Amino acid sequence: MNTKNIALFFIISAVSIFLTSCDKESEINPNEKGSIGLHFDNRAGSSDLALNTGNYTNALNQALNITTFNYFVSNIKLHNEDGSVYTVPQAESYFLIKESEAESQEIELNDVPEGNYNKITFTIGVDSLRNTMPISERTGALDPAGEAEGMYWMWNSGYIFMKMEGTSPVAPLDSASNTNLFMYHIGGFGGYSSQTINNIKEVTLSFGNESAKVRNDNMEAPEAHLYVDALKVLNGSTNIDISATPVVMFAQYSTNIANNYANMFSVNHVHNHN
C-alpha cells in the first residue's frame, strides 16, 4: 500500500469512527435508564457562601453574617428536549440541602430514562401530602428526629421549607447569646383542616443551550450545576429590613420572603462526562 493509499485509509477510518460515534449519540432508548447529578452551589451574590465568616450586605445596605442556610427541594421533574417529562417517584424526591453539610448539596437521581434533558422543575419546600402523613412514614430527609431535625415545627405540625439565621449589627441584641441575631424560618403548606399560609414554591429552570445527556452506558452521570443565591432571601420583590423584621416564622409576612427565595436558583452550567 503506497503512501497515498495509506493516508486515504486513515481518513476513511476516521470518518467511519466519527459517524459511528454520532449514530450512537443520536440513539436514545427511553426503556434504558441512566443517572443525572444535581449540584447545589450556595452563593452570596457573586461569592461562595461562607457560614460564620462571610461578611455580606443586603439591598438596604445592612451588614450581615449568615450562620445557617438550609432548604428543602422536592417533587423533581426533568424535561426532555423531545417534550416528554420524567417525574422522579415522589417517595424518592425529597432532599434537604444544608450549607453546613457539603454532601447534602450533591444529589444523584437514578433510573432516569435515556434522553437529553434541558429543563428541571422542583418544589422549594414539602408538599401538603407529605406534611400530613403520619410521622412514622416520613423517613430520610423528612425524618423530624433525624435528618430533618430543626426543620420541623412540632407545635405547628409542618416543615420549615427554608431556614436562614445570622447576625447583623442592625438586629436587636439577644441576651442569651449576647449577639445581634436575625432568624427567618419559612414554612406553611396551606393548612390541614382550614386554610393557612401557603409558601410552597415551584420553580422551573432552563439549561439554556445545554442539555444533560442521560445514557445507560455513561461511565459517569451528567451533572447540572445550580447556583443558589442566599442573599435573594433578603433581596427581591420585598427588600427585607433586618432592623424592622429580625425574626419571621409562621406569619403573613413570611410570604414576602418566600416570594424572594423562589428566585434564588439559577443554572450555571451542565457537565456531560461522556
pLDDT at 156: 67
Going by pLDDT thresholds of 50, 70 and 90, the confidence category of residue 22 is: very low
- What the block records as the C-alpha cell of 148 is 430533618
Residue 229: predicted pLDDT: 98
Residue 159 has pLDDT above 90, yes or no: yes
Same domain, 18 and 70: no
Residues 56, 22 within the same domain? no
How much is the pLDDT for 5?
52
Residue type, 254: S
Which residue segment(s) compose the domain that 190 sits in? 31-271
* Residues 20 and 57 occupy one common structural domain: no
Q: What is the pTM of this model?
A: 0.88
- State whether 94 and 135 are in the same domain: yes
Asked whether the predicted pLDDT for residue 16 surpasses 80, the reply is: no
Whether residue 15 is found in the same domain as residue 69: no
- Higher per-residue pLDDT: 231 or 220: 231
Helix (H, G, I), strand (E, B) or coil at 73: strand
How high is the pLDDT of residue 3?
A: 53
pLDDT (mean) for 43-66: 97
Which conformational region is residue 89 in: left (phi greater than 0), alpha (psi within -120 to 50 degrees), or beta?
A: beta
What are the distances in angstroms from CA 19 to CA 8, 12, 22, 23, 62?
16, 11, 5, 6, 58
**Together in a domain, 38 and 116:** yes
Least confident of 12-16, 107-111, 211-215: 12-16
Least confident of 17-21, 35-39, 122-126: 17-21
Residue 267 has pLDDT above 60, yes or no: yes
Mean per-residue pLDDT of the chain? 90
* 230-255 average pLDDT score: 97
Same domain as 188, residue 115: yes
As a whole number of angstroms, the distance between CA 195 and CA 175 comes to 36
Work out how many domains the chain is built from and give that number. 2
What average pLDDT score do residues 43-60 get?
96
Please tell me the predicted confidence (pLDDT) of residue 184.
98
How far is the C-alpha of 125 from the C-alpha of 112, rounded, in Å?
A: 23
Of residues 186 and 136, more confidently modeled? 186
Please give the pLDDT value at position 218.
Answer: 79
Whether the predicted pLDDT of 201 surpasses 50? yes
- Are residues 234 and 57 in contact, defined by beta-carbon separation less than 8 angstroms? no
Residue that wins the pLDDT comparison between 2 and 72: 72
Same domain, 235 and 113: yes
